[in-house]
């Protein structure tokens, strides 16, 4: 097998195995290597003219999810475990029973990682279109992941600086060691649950306000401040009330978050590009005031807020956009966990009372009453 930036994983050495696997599933004839398979069952199978690129895989998956989202319009309730609605097949059970060779299982999970990265971006963009009363937008065959995501999110051709900003944000947010959501994904993967279950665990952790949603709170704070001239008073009032200022401090970094360095510059470029530096200027003054009074550095969420808002992304979409980026990192961690797996099972130390006499339940009820 080989890896390249252009083609991704190319399973050329085990092509006969894949032909048989897909033939058994009814995806293609075992003797017809030229038959193009259903993309949501096989993302990385070589085409007759060469191999299938990650870009092609992304766009085929995006197109399929769009079709499924369109069919679901008008339905108010989806079954919470209805993964087949998005073409997420439950394949791992057979693999765990030994029905598929471990090498093929690895390739299957790499294909799943590609699919879920594309599917997450597609679902977020389609949701934004549907809630605005518009039809989801089909992906274009060409263009980067960031460009297609913005096109589908806006329903129009994105500004190229916006594309560069989104590409930067997707890269900077993709992974950050064992944060809460990544750890949740790895704990789930360590049980040999499937890729999609691990992704759901990660999203559940991201839903908590102490992990996801920080940049949403930053933008609401910037709107509340309103003008650069009001920054000083806001910081003083907030700190005197012993309240936190969103977007500052980090569990890991005791110096400036290196991701914030790049997003600060991008926030300025975006403001200059649209002719409105208001949010950047408020952010800069706020950063300076917090550093002076609390000696806290801005984190990645602080400048991503003004970047996304300047690009016209709704505030309540900030966390879903974060998930669009972090899905790639989650998937990479899950693949790494599968490759060298051990059940993640921390111990707990009991710190309660000892040598407590047992009290029968009926006596406990009487005592409580």
Q: Give the active site residues.
A: 211, 250, 301
**Is residue 197 within 8 Å of 225, Cβ to Cβ?**
no
Which stretch of DSSP H or E encloses residue 260? helix 258-274
Total H helices, total E strands in the chain: 15, 2
Query: Whose structure tokens read 């952010």?
Result: 283
In the DSSP assignment, the letter for residue 359 is: -
Is 46 exposed, middle or buried, given 0-12, 13-18 or 19+ CB atoms closer than 10 A?
middle
In the DSSP assignment, the letter for residue 136 is: P
What is the secondary structure of 265-281 as a DSSP string?
HHHHHHHHHHT--HHHH
- With vertex at residue 83, the alpha carbon angle to CA 146 and CA 179, rounded to the nearest 5 degrees, is 55
Give the three-class secondary structure for 337.
helix
The CA dihedral of 165, 119, 211, 131, to the nearest 10 degrees, is 80
């Amino acid at each position: 097998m080989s890896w390249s930036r252009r083609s991704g994983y190319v399973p050329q050495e085990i092509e006969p195995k894949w032909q048989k696997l897909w033939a058994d599933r009814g995806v293609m004839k075992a003797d017809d290597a030229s038959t193009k398979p259903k993309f949501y069952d096989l993302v990385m199978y070589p085409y007759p003219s060469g191999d299938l690129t990650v870009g092609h895989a992304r766009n085929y998956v995006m197109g399929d999810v769009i079709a499924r989202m369109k069919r679901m319009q008008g339905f108010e309730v989806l079954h919470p475990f209805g993964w087949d609605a998005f073409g997420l097949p439950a394949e791992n059970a057979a693999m765990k029973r030994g029905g598929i060779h471990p090498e093929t299982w690895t390739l299957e999970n790499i294909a799943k990682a590609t699919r879920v990265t594309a599917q997450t971006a597609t679902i977020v963009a389609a949701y934004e279109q549907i809630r605005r009363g518009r039809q989801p937008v089909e992906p274009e065959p060409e263009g980067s992941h960031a460009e297609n995501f913005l096109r589908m999110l806006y329903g129009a051709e994105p500004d190229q600086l916006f594309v560069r900003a989104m590409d930067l944000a997707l890269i900077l947010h993709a992974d950050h060691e064992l944060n809460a959501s990544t750890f949740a994904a790895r704990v789930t993967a360590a049980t040999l649950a499937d890729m999609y279950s691990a992704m759901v665990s990660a999203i559940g952790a991201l839903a908590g306000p102490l992990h996801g949603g920080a940049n949403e709170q930053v933008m609401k704070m910037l709107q509340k401040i309103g003008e650069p001239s009001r920054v000083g008073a806001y910081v003083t009032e907030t700190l005197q009330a012993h309240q936190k200022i969103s977007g500052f401090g980090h569990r890991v970094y005791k110096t400036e978050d290196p991701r914030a360095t790049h997003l600060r510059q991008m926030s300025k470029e975006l403001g200059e590009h649209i002719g409105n530096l208001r949010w950047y200027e408020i952010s800069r003054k706020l950063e300076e005031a917090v550093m002076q009074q609390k000696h806290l550095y801005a984190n990645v969420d602080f400048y991503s807020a003004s970047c996304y808002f300047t690009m016209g992304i709704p505030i309540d979409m900030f966390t879903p956009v974060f998930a669009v980026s972090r899905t790639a990192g989650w998937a990479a961690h899950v693949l790494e966990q599968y490759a060298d797996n051990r059940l993640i099972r921390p111990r707990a130390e009991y710190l309660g009372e000892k040598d407590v006499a047992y009290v029968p339940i009926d006596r406990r009820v009487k005592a409580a009453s």
